[in-house]
Amino acid sequence: MPLTITFLQSALLLWSTIAQWGFSVPLRRGPDCPGYSASNVKKTDSGITADLTLAGSECNIYGQDLHELKFLAEYQTDSRLHVMIYDKAEQVYQVPDFVVPRPGGSSSAGGSLLEVSVEEDPFSFMIKRKSNGEVLFTTEGSEIIFETQYLRLRTSLPDSPILYGLGEHTDSLQLPTSNYIRTFWARDAGGVPAGENLYGNHPVYYEYRPKSDTTHGVLLLNSDGMDIKINNDDGQYLEYNVLGGIIDLYFLAGPGPYDVAREYSEISLKPAMMPYWGFGFHQCRFGYKSVDEVAAVVANYSAAGIPLETMWTDIDYMDQYKVFTLGERFPLKDMRSLVNDLHDNDQHYIVMVDPAVAYQNYDAFNRGKDADIFIKNSDGSIYKGRVWPGVTAFPDWFHENTQGYWDSEFESFFSPSSGVDIDALWIDMNEPSNFCVWPCASPEAEDEGTDIVEVKARKMSRQSDQDYPKRGLRGRNLINPSYKIKNAFGLLSNKTAKTDIIHQGGWAEYDTHNLYGTMMSRTSRNSLLKRRPDKRPMVITRSTFVGAGSYVGHWLGDNISAWDQYQTSIRHLLQFVSFFQIPMVGADVCGFLGNTTETLCARWTMLGAFYPFYRNHNVDGAISQEAYRWKSVTDAAKKAIDARYRLLDYIYTAMHKQTVDGTPMLAPMWFNYPTDSATHAIELQYFYGPALLVSPVTEPEATSVTLYLPDDIFYDFWSLKQVRGTGGAVTLKNIDFTSIPVYIRGGSIIPARVKSANTTTALRSEDFELLIAPGKDGKANGALYLDDGESLHPSGTSEIQFSYDGKTIEMNGTFGYKTRVGVKSITILGSDAAKQFELNEGLDGSWSRDVSQLKQISV
């Protein structure tokens, strides 16, 4: 019969087409959305509670308005305020506290740095800084919308606000303030493009207020898909547009940027401490075709004289990419020989494990099926996707049997006695990634796919067969909600797990999609701990959420071998370390996708030495890029690793501090110089640890760089010469491709090993020297943390402080770690040439020495 298209059908088709590209129908405002009225408002010294009632007719713009809500504001500490708006029946989904444990604490209004107030009709709430009355967050003038599948919450901002965070993204470090949308929906984002949603989700922002010289932070703890919009078309504002869940906000008072980071770490949990050897140099590639090729790479590094701490193997080692298997060219006997050789030389070995298990008749799948741990369709059948091995099943990390299943697979496959004795773990594809294009009706087909615009018109919904508190309302459209976030893949379920899946316990994938990677990470860390209960696990993962840093580190995904992505890696790195409390982070050095060049690889090898996580990695089919492939890259690697290893205890100390109190081990320049407006947008220079300012050459083929030095004293790390910063630009020339500009900030003491070594094990036998860089007042301070480098709970640790007052060098602290090495010498930097003095003091107790009484051994 002839196709008849009505005006309404045409409009719906146009709307669906627009939605495919991530744009939403303009949000109606004003009388159409009535907002709420507050009643039964109760104010106590610990906070405020109120009942909220819909203030008029339902607008039902992207779902059905909820009529009755609850408001809660609680002063948890002197610097943290918690605000919740949730449904009266508490059926709406909330992030499970076993995934992100809620911080406790009870404080008082009188003791808080913040103040919360509410207006009753129309309802709004406001957060102020008590010291100056500055409004940090206010919903006044904008109706709160709380529907079954849509939340909207807007706060006014000052003109031209200075904002950071809201990641994972590769946009500018200082966020745009006009027509900006940041989308939160985990996806396999090859090429890590700017302007799109990437692998992880961290809906926290930091805002600096120049007038008061204060910084505060705001976290929306919600794992549903969302768009956060920053715009100035109706006054300057930030607006949350969320597909579900509740309004669960944490306000962090600061007042300094480091304070906010430390306060955020109380919510995200403190980061996991990584093993000492994890800071060594790592090598990997997707495309090593046999265990012999892997062994040859190890041998080639040795022959080239480049220290290699850890060798990695991508999915090539598997039998047709099936997890927990070995391929024909990676026989167990030879794999065990490779690992034994590495261990005999104090080196390490890591492999990848993906979440997707091949839907085939083999042990890992059969055991998973018997344990009933795979996610399922509504009819009870195992949900099928398509990943590297073909048709796959996906573990349900909510299932009570999954931890035991994962433990068992790790115990058998990675057994030191009968399997591949890995030292740490690498997780990929855990968004989860699915190669199958929606609707993925038959993943067995190679070219599965249906036009997304056609599919979006279908009505598909699924809900749990029973009600669970805080799991999500029944009757929702879990495939195609009316509000369309700006997901780069369009429909929520495209190229990932189907969002109407209900996990064990009643949790919908629609709500918990963004938790999948973090839950896999936690489960994997637990499995490593069960395998080696006393050893510190290292897990490097791709997809993360709030709190992931307490389990894992992160590599920045499948980047491209290109100069712009070399630059982007810096701001991408700083997000995770400085804002999100995931410090063990690095980009694939020299780039993953495409072909690198010799000069790019040399520059990136130098830069990578100043990431926390330092690994060269590239894709199958691209040219080889191991550091020994070019002379200049070999030279760069030797110089970079030498410097990194000499500084390894300095950065290890900074990592330890972040695990203890949340102080970021890396920081953007504005953290240290917030009142200097020139630092606010700088994203190509950063502090590596508390004292080293890294200012790499970033332009293609360039041998010069223009950098910014604040009004402070600095010292060139390589020459030790003093450089007086004047709050202006400095241009450096003739920087060859085996060099990187690094400065020591005045007022610092850096404990460095006297010399480097081929492995981190050998490095630990080298003595220290202290690089003393006096500040404007002639004084300097530094710290050193020592432990055995690998124990989960070290039996002995030393936390040492060094101080210099211009005449005397002192060491104090606690001294629980026994070591034979000591402080061999000190080098005092100054306006003239640096002076080195013999010291020969131990690290087992306090001491003080008058520098004038020390023997000078060089100038």
* Cα 668 to the center of its chain, rounded Å: 15
DSSP letter assigned to residue 548: G
Backbone angles phi, psi at 205, to 5 degrees: -125, 150
Residues 450, 454, 456, 458, CA torsion sign: negative
Residue with the two structure tokens 């976030």 = 485
Contacts of residues 132-141 at CB distance under 8 Å and 24 or more positions apart, as own/partner, are 132/212, 134/209, 134/211, 134/212, 134/214, 136/207, 136/216, 136/218, 136/251, 137/218, 137/249, 137/251
Q: Of the residues 263, 409, 423, 431, which is catalytic?
A: 431
Q: Of the residues 558, 626, 683, 799, which is catalytic?
A: 558
DSSP letter assigned to residue 273: P
693 and 685 in contact (C-beta within 8 Å)?
yes
431 is catalytic: yes
**Which two three-digit tokens encode residue 463?**
């809900």
138 and 127 in contact (C-beta within 8 Å)?
yes
Q: Which helix (H) or strand (E) holds 745?
A: strand 742-745
Whole-number Å distance between alpha carbons of 257 and 210: 12
96: preceding bond cis by omega (within 30 degrees): no
Q: Of the residues 65, 407, 428, 841, which is catalytic?
A: 428
Whole-number Å distance between alpha carbons of 667 and 690: 8
Residue with the two structure tokens 């699915």 = 434
Whole-number Å distance between alpha carbons of 92 and 407: 33
558 is catalytic: yes
> b/e string for 285-318 if b means 16 or more Cβ within 10 A?
bbebebbeebbebbebbeebebbbbbbbbbbbbb
- Where helices occur in 86-153 by DSSP H, the ranges are none
Strands (E), 45-122: 47-54, 68-75, 80-87, 114-120
Whole-number Å distance between alpha carbons of 249 and 95: 12
361 and 328 in contact (C-beta within 8 Å)?
no
**DSSP assignments along 416-475, one per residue:** TTTS---SEEEE-STTT---PPTT-S-TTSTT----HHHHHTS------SS--TTS--TT
Residue 795 in 3-state DSSP? Answer: coil
- C-alpha closest to that of 84 among 201, 184, 221, 203: 221
**DSSP assignments along 562-575, one per residue:** SHHHHHHHHHHHHI
3-state secondary structure 664-687: CCEEEHHHHCCCCHHHCCCCCCEE
Determine how many CB atoms are found less than 10 A away from the CB of residue 482. 17
Whole-number Å distance between alpha carbons of 729 and 220: 38
DSSP letter assigned to residue 653: H
- Where helices occur in 624-712 by DSSP H, the ranges are 631-646, 648-661, 669-672
Residue 842 in 3-state DSSP? Answer: coil
Residue with the two structure tokens 């080889």 = 624
Query: How does strand 150-156 pair with strand 237-242?
Result: antiparallel
**Which two three-digit tokens encode residue 838?**
């013999």
Active site residues: 428, 431, 558
